[in-house]
Amino acid sequence: MHIEGLNDVTGPRLRAFRKAKGQSAIEFWGAVGISRSRGYDFEKKASLPEFVARLVYIHHVAGIPTDMPVAELRHLAKACEGHKALKQSIASAQRGAELLSKAAGGL
């Protein structure tokens, strides 16, 4: 299974992609800060929240680490000024990381 772009990031395709990579749901979803059970929920849906789709795309497809500090994500977004789609993906991942950080702090 191969994912070309963000339009390919759907739940069923991600499940096939994860399995093709030989990763468990814990490994795959945990790498982007999402629990196994929530990841399974996403795998059943045709569409995902935009920040989740972008975060998964950036980490698992583009190979850009998403566990970096928010300041580094901002720096990376600035470096991609001329690449609109990549810049938007990184900015969305940054927002997603901030949301996940806030959610984790509230637990």
What confidence tier does 78 reach under pLDDT thresholds 50, 70, 90?
low
Q: 97 — phi, psi (to 5°)?
A: -65, -40
- Tally of structural domains, the chain: 1
CATH code (residue 12): 1.10.260
The DSSP line for 27-59 is HHHHTTT--HHHHHHHHT-SS--HHHHHHHIII
Judge whether 75 lies within some domain.
yes
Tell me the whole-structure pTM to 2 decimals: 0.63
Judge whether 1 lies within some domain.
no
- CA nearest neighbour of 31 among 65, 77, 2, 73: 65
107 has pLDDT over 60: no
Judge whether 54 lies within some domain.
yes
Judge whether 96 lies within some domain.
yes
Stretch 68-92: mean pLDDT, rounded? 66
In terms of pLDDT, which residue wins out, 77 or 26? 26
Domain extent at residue 66: 7-105
Judge whether 2 lies within some domain.
no
